[in-house]
Amino acid sequence: MADEADILTDLNMNPAPNGEDTSPVAGVISQYVKDLSVENPNAPECYQWNDQPQIDLQFNIGAVPLNDEVHEVELKVNVTAKSEKGNAYLIELSYCGLVGMRNMPDPQAHAFLYAEAPRILFPFARRVIADATRDAGFQPLMLDPIDFNGLYVQQLERKAQEDAAAGEAPAGNA
């Protein structure tokens, strides 16, 4: 029975005596296209090109606090389709979500903002990109899934290595 009591305590199933909700909670409140730019600079000539364009995909994740409990997470996606004759299309998308968090320790909140929230938003941004390429007159571009959690861990490891290297630098070079 002691094990069962420990499990209930670990899950914070017992509310605070004053009735305050102290359990950690996070979720997406809303999501939206903040900015979308689609360029087809070489139309209509590009539709006659026979070579397969090279796709250059860049993405960036940002988060801005709006108040103590709500953040705007921004997933920026830039896609350029290039061929020997020029650019077939350029798409710049800023897809955002309002994320609510309460009672989250800072490390978990940071991980949610930069790994989990982008993972939730990505399928919707992916659809916008596919629709934009189709509406520009090309085959819909279906982006492969992205491992945001893996990228987040890599970024943390790289930052730790950079911090360690900076800490080992001689005092005159700091």
Q: Are 129 and 135 in contact (CB under 8 A)?
A: no
Q: What whole-number distance in Å separates Cα of residue 21 and Cα of residue 102?
A: 9
Predicted structure pTM score: 0.79
How do the domains of the chain map onto residue ranges? 23-162
Q: How confident is the model at residue 6 (pLDDT cuts 50, 70, 90)?
A: very low
The mean pLDDT of the chain is 86
User: Is 1.10.357.10 the CATH classification of the domain at 23-162?
Assistant: no
Give the model confidence (pLDDT) of 83-141 as tens digits: 999 999 999 999 999 999 999 889 899 999 999 999 999 999 999 999 999 999 999 99
Which of 126, 34, 37 minimizes the C-alpha distance to 73?
A: 34
The partner residues of 71 in beta bridges, in order of sequence, read 65, 99
Which of 79, 86, 75 minimizes the C-alpha distance to 57?
A: 79
With b for 16 or more beta-carbon neighbours within 10 A and e for fewer, the 127-151 pattern comes to eebeebbeebebeebebeebebeeb
